[in-house]
Amino acid sequence: MAARRALLALALGALLALPGCGWEPLYADRETGPADLELRAIKVDPIAERIGQRLALALRESLNPDGAPAPQRYRLSTLLTVSRADLGLQQTGLGSRGKLDATASITLRDIRTGAPLLSASSHAVESFDIVANEYAAVVAEDDARTLAVEELRRDIVTQLTLFLQRRAAETPTLRKP
């Protein structure tokens, strides 16, 4: 019991020391980085193909989770390239393992001026089994696409958040009134 209390006290002490070392939560609404307000101001352009539709929807839901109306100051355009390759080959020449490569190149632009503010890219690789049952193989590939979309979404949102926090810290007019 005493060891448990000591561990709890140590954990609380560590939590209290974090702000002193310069650590700050990424999504915190601080004077130097109201990233959540700026993220809501991003309009996500449509992305081609079904996997692109999934990514665009996931980005919209991440940037403005509650769907609150917000003035749109930025436009996010995404070029998504997806390739599929067979990794393992059977003696019959059929694949036994597949790989899905997805790369998203993003450009964040100011809506008023059209000037590019951020260009970045994100890459995701997922693998899946190719089995004799065609339905199972299609489902496995679709699951790989879903995982790739989630990985791309997380990386893109992180890149946008960091960029907008830095921009708000450097530009006093972007801080909240």
User: Using one digit for the tens of pLDDT, what is the confidence trace for 30-72?
Assistant: 443 456 888 999 999 999 999 999 999 999 999 998 888 889 9
CA distance 29 to 128: 40
Cβ distance 157 to 62 under 8 Å? yes
Query: What dihedral angle (degrees, nearest 10) is formed by the CA atoms of 25, 164, 39, 36?
Result: 30
Predicted pLDDT of residue 131: 85
Predicted pLDDT of residue 102: 98
User: Using one digit for the tens of pLDDT, what is the confidence trace for 63-104?
Assistant: 998 888 889 999 999 999 999 998 877 766 666 889 999 999
Q: Which residue has the tokens 């436009």?
A: 75
CA distance 127 to 122: 17
CATH no., domain 29-171: 3.30.160.150
- Name the pTM for this structure: 0.76
Count CA within 13 A, CB hemisphere, residue 130: 15
